[in-house]
Amino acid sequence: MTETRYNPFTLEPEWQKRWNDKNVFKTDTSGTKPKYYVLEMFPYPSGKIHVGHARNYIVGDVIARFKRAQGYSVLHPLGWDAFGMPAENAAIKNKVHPGKWTHKNIEEMKTDLNLFGLSIDWDRELATCEPNYYKHQQAFFIDMYKKGLVYSKEAHVNWDPVDQTVLANEQVVDGKGWRSGAPVERRTMKQWFFNITRYADDLLNDLEGLTEWPEQVRTMQANWIGRSEGLTFTFDVTGPEGQYADGMKVYTTRPDTIMGVTFCSVAPEHPLAAETAKNDDSAAAFIKECQGLGTSEEAIEKAEKKGYKTPFTAKHPITGEDVPIYIANFVLMGYGTGAVMAVPAHDERDYAFAKKYDLPIKQVIEAPQGTEVEADAAYTGAGTLVNSAEFNGLDNDKAKSAVIDWFEAKNIGERTVNYRLRDWGISRQRYWGTPIPFINCDKCGTVPVPKDQLPVQLPEDVEITGHGGNPLDLHPSWKHVDCPECGGKAVRETDTMDTFVDSSWYYARYTCVDSDLPLDPEAVNHWLPVDQYIGGIEHAVLHLLYARFITKALKEVGYVNVKEPFKALLTQGMVLSPCYRDSKGEYINPLDVIAHSDGTATHKETGEKLEVLSNEKMSKSKNNGVPPKPLVETYGADTLRLFSMFCAPIERTLEWAESGVDGAWRYLGRVWGLVNEAGFSLDDYDVNKHLLIDDISDKKLKDLKRKIHKTIRKVTSDLEKMQFNTSVAACMELANTLGEYRNTQDETAQLLYKEGVASLLRVLNPVAPHITEELWKQLGQTTWLVEEEWPGYDENAVKDDEITLVIQVNGKLREKLTVAADISKEDAEKEALTAVEPHIAGLTVRKTIVVPGRLVNIVAN
């Protein structure tokens, strides 16, 4: 055999071309094999990929290749989450149309991703910005509207008065628009909503069935949905003009504390607050001040609890006593009824508020004997009711029901379920998104665009300046249309959809990218649910909750049969890398930085000393993304793939360090050497000429045979459990063992060596597909591994005939014996006692524990 060097730079493109030319990754739709749908969360085409993306797509590819070998018909597509703000920002900066920018980025990213040798069926590629995609989204949006799953209403938003747009909460920094720097206003505007709360219970209850999801994600979703049970009732309210007709509806999860109510609070947006402000300028000022806070969580957290006393009082439903009503900055209009009964003795916020405004505090729950109760604080724990008239003496948990029953019996209140989850506001005053397919007519109201007029396509001739408002609204002609119902003059809705809508159904569209329907029933019901979904933990709530909701909505509308889209979920840990900043405050990419051993860092070119910040998730804004391309250019794709899978468990957060890449490279070099530097010829390897373990007499060679088959077993089960790092370690072990026989002259050993190398190539193939194909060819094989079946192992060859028996005395290791694997309990005990005789001399054996195949523990004293 001629000795050649491992050169991935020629062999990787060659094999990629061969696979593509033969179209081996095209989805098999013959229906003869069981289906397996593996999907990685699709990328936003920012143009640049970093090693975090690489890890995501590589792990999906390993699974896809493994399942394909196991005989599944695998669907493994990829597309682009192509709408969104970065394209518009680029348009503002570079005067390039968002579509053009996006498509250029898609080309770049696709080229980069293809370097990894991914087994993707590119015939199913889609981009959400294409009319052929979003027209279907508009179609089912209208269907959902007809079922009441979509509606529009006035809602509070963060409004940037300079950029003239609504901002998401995360786009508000310190109460100011992230780009304009202008103080954000809280405004009320007409917004489109998905009625996600209608499915709150389903979304919560169905989490139980998602047994192949990480517990963490299920918990996070459950918390996000935030179901609570309580009591809703209405206080009679008296004001300066007598009885206030509407009263004040409140929701409480602590009806047991009803007798401790000493005042009430309402949100600044509550009608009673508005009523107060009518004739009271300082009340109006107070409300304005609260709204100036913005809606960011940080701002709310820092705010001191403040209130403003209204001229209204509420009549306690049980005692008939009048209690004051305050406007309070911490009461949220969007949760419950926007008004709360305040029980300062048993609620921390109410306690702080009562102390500040010198309001009475009435204890109604007594802590159980022996509980330490903090002084000068609300007691929020369990206990027995006191000062509560007929409810006295009740355990507070039972009192909850008793109080609710009391209200229900009198028909003045009811048991209520409440959710933290709110309806999903999807309106964005943006150009680069899916147009909401509605027309606003003065006469007919909000009218859906007739389906035969879809798509409502984005106009190409727009100027995107970043100020003055939504380019669709400013466009001279686009929005002016005739009303589809009365034919009169009307205007299009100019809001576009949140891009999370686009990404909530793409996985279904992949099953039928060419269909004229939004979803082809046969295809979508065949392939869904996704058998294995893979993505970053950062999407644990929003994307995954939205996608689950849209699936349920699509089911209700009649497009799919499944109620959950993703059967199993693998959450890949984030990939972090260090952040550096120069004196101007600019982030410097780690590639341009020399990190010194003392923890300081300097710029590679300028030599400037840099500020070293903590490790953060790779991102554009921190400029700390490490691109995989240079690694592929230095080591080849297989090394990157191997390293990505090996360096840590896939779900664990990874601090990117390249120091291990060399190890992966060296390993592949050794695998190459197993074939190319063996002391004998391997190119006559015969798949059908494997020695059986019983036909091998040499003990060491029996062990070699065992090693081969144990490796196959381990890699198979590790891949099934998504333990990629240990599966690679097993391959390394086998290679190390085989290395000992590289120059063997023994004929039996040579046969086993060939079997070992061949087995190694097959089990390593999903992780390192190129090198293993090439070496497989060098074994004289005419098949391709990509089309080969996954190897099985010989049950007989994974059984040990000897084991190490550990002998403990009182739990301490004393001896190790090599014994037959099938040794009986009695014999094991007997041998153990003999072996440790010196250690138990003079002691009485009290007990002997025998763990078959493992150890004997002798308890003696």
Partner RNA sequence: GUCUGCGUAGCCCAAUCGGUAGAGGCAAAGGACUUAAAAUCCUUCCAGUGUGGGUUCGAGUCCCACCGCAGACACCA
Residues 589-618 that bind RNA (CB under 7 A): 614
Residue 414 is classified by DSSP as: E
Selected from 662, 695, 822, 837, the binder of RNA by CB under 7 A is 662
Selected from 111, 216, 319, 600, the binder of RNA by CB under 7 A is 216
Q: How far is the CB of 283 from RNA (least distance, A)?
A: 18
Selected from 444, 669, 680, 784, the binder of RNA by CB under 7 A is 669
Q: How far is the CB of 92 from RNA (least distance, A)?
A: 28
Q: How many residues bind RNA (CB under 7 A)?
A: 80
Site residues for RNA, window 343-402 (CB under 7 A)?
Answer: 347, 349
3-class DSSP assignment, residue 332: coil
- From the list 312-320, 326-334, 394-402, 560-568, the region that binds RNA by CB under 7 A is 326-334
Under 8 Å between Cβ of 384 and 366: yes
Dihedral sign (CA 37, 43, 48, 54) = negative
Selected from 119, 137, 723, 781, the binder of RNA by CB under 7 A is 723
Q: How far is the CB of 114 from RNA (least distance, A)?
A: 27
Residue 103 CB neighbours (<10 A) = 18
Selected from 71, 660, 780, 792, the binder of RNA by CB under 7 A is 660
Q: How far is the CB of 190 from RNA (least distance, A)?
A: 23
Strand 812-820: give its sheet, edge to edge.
Answer: 812-820, 802-809, 855-860, 845-851
Selected from 622, 670, 830, 839, the binder of RNA by CB under 7 A is 670
H or E element that contains 277: helix 271-278
Q: Please, which residue, 250 or 449, has the CB nearer to RNA?
A: 250
Q: Which of 97, 134, 132, 88 is nearest to 436 (CA)?
A: 134
Selected from 418, 429, 716, 778, the binder of RNA by CB under 7 A is 418
Looking only at the bridges linking them, the beta strands covering 263-266 and 322-328 are parallel
Q: Which of 70, 745, 774 is nearest to 757 (CA)?
A: 774
Site residues for RNA, window 232-291 (CB under 7 A)?
Answer: 251-254, 267
Site residues for RNA, window 291-310 (CB under 7 A)?
Answer: 297, 300-301, 303, 305
Q: How far is the CB of 538 from RNA (least distance, A)?
A: 6
Burial (Cβ within 10 Å: 0-12, 13-18, ≥19) of residue 638? buried
- Residue-wise burial string across 509-544, b where 16 or more C-beta atoms lie within 10 A, e elsewhere: bbbbbeeeebbbeebbebbbbbbbbbbbbebbeebb
Burial (Cβ within 10 Å: 0-12, 13-18, ≥19) of residue 376? exposed
Label residue 370 left, alpha or beta by phi (over 0 means left) and psi (-120 to 50 means alpha).
left
Separation between Cα atoms, residue 90 and residue 466, nearest integer Å:
10
- From the list 36-44, 441-449, 581-589, 662-670, the region that binds RNA by CB under 7 A is 662-670
| Beta bridge partner(s), residue 415 | 231
- From the list 117-125, 428-436, 681-689, 844-852, the region that binds RNA by CB under 7 A is 844-852
- From the list 131-139, 395-403, 509-517, 805-813, the region that binds RNA by CB under 7 A is 805-813
Q: How far is the CB of 503 from RNA (least distance, A)?
A: 17
Selected from 171, 180, 676, 810, the binder of RNA by CB under 7 A is 810
Q: How far is the CB of 203 from RNA (least distance, A)?
A: 15
In this structure, what are the phi and psi dihedrals at residue 112, rounded to the nearest 5 degrees?
Answer: -65, -45
Label residue 445 left, alpha or beta by phi (over 0 means left) and psi (-120 to 50 means alpha).
left
Q: How far is the CB of 379 from RNA (least distance, A)?
A: 14
Under 8 Å between Cβ of 793 and 774: no
Under 8 Å between Cβ of 524 and 511: yes
Selected from 1, 285, 332, 377, the binder of RNA by CB under 7 A is 332
Q: How far is the CB of 220 from RNA (least distance, A)?
A: 4
Residue 188 CB neighbours (<10 A) = 12
Site residues for RNA, window 479-538 (CB under 7 A)?
Answer: 537-538
Selected from 104, 420, 603, 839, the binder of RNA by CB under 7 A is 420
Selected from 245, 358, 461, 847, the binder of RNA by CB under 7 A is 847
Under 8 Å between Cβ of 501 and 549: no
Selected from 444, 563, 663, 794, the binder of RNA by CB under 7 A is 663
Q: How far is the CB of 250 from RNA (least distance, A)?
A: 7
577 near RNA (CB under 7 A): no
667 near RNA (CB under 7 A): yes
- From the list 27-35, 108-116, 218-226, 386-394, the region that binds RNA by CB under 7 A is 218-226
| Alpha helix (H) residue ranges in 70-97 | 85-94
163 near RNA (CB under 7 A): no
434 near RNA (CB under 7 A): no
Q: H/E/C letters for each residue in 437-482?
A: CEEEECCCEEEECCHHHCCCCCCCCCCCCCCCCCHHHHCCCCCEEE
Selected from 456, 501, 647, 722, the binder of RNA by CB under 7 A is 647
Q: Please, which residue, 369 or 597, has the CB nearer to RNA?
A: 597
654 near RNA (CB under 7 A): yes
- From the list 38-46, 183-191, 440-448, 646-654, the region that binds RNA by CB under 7 A is 646-654
Selected from 131, 311, 466, 739, the binder of RNA by CB under 7 A is 739
- Residue-wise burial string across 412-449, b where 16 or more C-beta atoms lie within 10 A, e elsewhere: ebeebebbebebbbbbbbbbbbbbbbbbbbeeeeebbb
H or E element that contains 667: helix 661-676
- From the list 355-363, 463-471, 524-532, 723-731, the region that binds RNA by CB under 7 A is 723-731
Separation between Cα atoms, residue 125 and residue 113, nearest integer Å:
13
Site residues for RNA, window 541-560 (CB under 7 A)?
Answer: 541
- From the list 94-102, 155-163, 324-332, 632-640, the region that binds RNA by CB under 7 A is 324-332
Q: List, in order, residues 6 or more apart from 468 with CB less than 8 Å away.
A: 164, 474
- From the list 461-469, 510-518, 787-795, 806-814, the region that binds RNA by CB under 7 A is 806-814
Q: Please, which residue, 614 or 782, has the CB nearer to RNA?
A: 614
Q: How far is the CB of 326 from RNA (least distance, A)?
A: 12
| Beta bridge partner(s), residue 682 | none
